[in-house]
Amino acid sequence: MTNQTPAGELPADRYAVIGHPVEHSQSPFIHAEFARETGQHLVYERLLAPLDAFAATVRTFIEHGARGANVTVPFKLEAHALADRLTARAQAAGAVNTLVFDAQGITGDNTDGVGLVRDIEGPLGVSLAGRRVLLLGAGGASRGAMLPLIEAKPAVLFVANRTAARADELVARFADAAGRHEVRLAGGGWERVPAGFDLVINATAGSLQGDVPPLPEGAFAEGSLAYDMMYGARPTVFMTHALSAGAARAADGLGMLVEQAAEAFAVWRGVRPSTDAVRAALRARLNAKA
């Protein structure tokens, strides 16, 4: 972990994405572009942590002058446990994807859900207020999305999962927040999914295995958007299925990746980068590798 600095120049602030594996991460490219756009003096690297040494890896990184880090699989729960303080959205998510290092210790944050909402309401042009939203899956990805989705004030948020009990648990966890924002929150197994959703978000890992949640006919309302948190050079299996099942549009999670990174950058640096150019450049990079 060396950081060569020319004589007379202040050392760059250090950041990294920590995971296992981590070589596939697009975060160094994204944050380098953000730093160039905003004139921020920083370096951002990939940091492979042994599966049994996440905390030790983080503390060594801090000792070498790090200011913050992103956390990816499989360490988001360990990052939550390691943090000295948690933001409200990290507490709600029960997981951490962004760490801030300062004199007060380690602060854990979660920018995933905010990134999702910003992508949907920004580039994709769908205001969530008053809409009917279906969230597929009740795992960590869904839990991280729940509070930002609720704060966007959809009329209905229905959580569907293969195991109905897990969906019910997630609904119970966020019932108070839904009540404060006047969101009708419900959940259950696939067979309990009603019809007519304006937005259907796939937070399952099904697209990695080529699996599609067995939604009933009519789940997609006229003009609806199907959104898969997974992304790639080609449309995911969920996107393809959704379009054949009645969705008007389908989008993958590449924009969410960029938007959650922009939120983390703003947390660290106090300036919010624009995301359009980075999103386009990242899409071009993925397409070139296809």
Averaged pLDDT of the chain: 94
> Cα(115)–Cα(157) distance, rounded to whole angstroms?
18
The answer to the question of whether 255 is labelled as a binding residue is: no
CB 201 within 8 A of CB 145: yes
CB 47 within 8 A of CB 61: yes
Give the per-residue pLDDT at 153.
98
Give the per-residue pLDDT at 3.
47
Q: Is the pLDDT of residue 2 over 70?
A: no
**From residue 61, how far is each of 47, 49, 67, 106 by CA, in Å?**
9, 11, 9, 12
Give me the mean pLDDT over the 11-39 stretch.
96
Which of 4-13, 79-88, 202-211 is the least confident region?
4-13
Residue 157 pLDDT grade (very low, low, confident, very high; cuts 50, 70, 90): very high
Helix (H) / strand (E) element for 6: namely: none
Give me the mean pLDDT over the 122-147 stretch.
96
CB 202 within 8 A of CB 245: no
Give the per-residue pLDDT at 210.
84
Active site residues: 76
**pTM, rounded to two decimals:** 0.93
Give the per-residue pLDDT at 9.
66
The answer to the question of whether 166 is labelled as a binding residue is: yes
The answer to the question of whether 65 is labelled as a binding residue is: no
The answer to the question of whether 161 is labelled as a binding residue is: yes
For the chain, domains (ranges, CATH) are 13-110+256-289 (3.40.50.10860), 114-252 (3.40.50.720)
The answer to the question of whether 253 is labelled as a binding residue is: yes
pLDDT tens string 161-175: 999 999 999 999 999
pLDDT tens string 33-47: 999 999 999 999 999
Give me the mean pLDDT over the 197-202 stretch.
98
Give the per-residue pLDDT at 207.
79
The helix/strand/coil state of 19 is: strand
Q: Sheet of 132-136: strands edge to edge? A: 184-188, 156-160, 132-136, 197-202, 220-228, 249-251
pLDDT tens string 230-274: 998 999 999 999 999 999 999 999 999 999 999 999 999 999 999
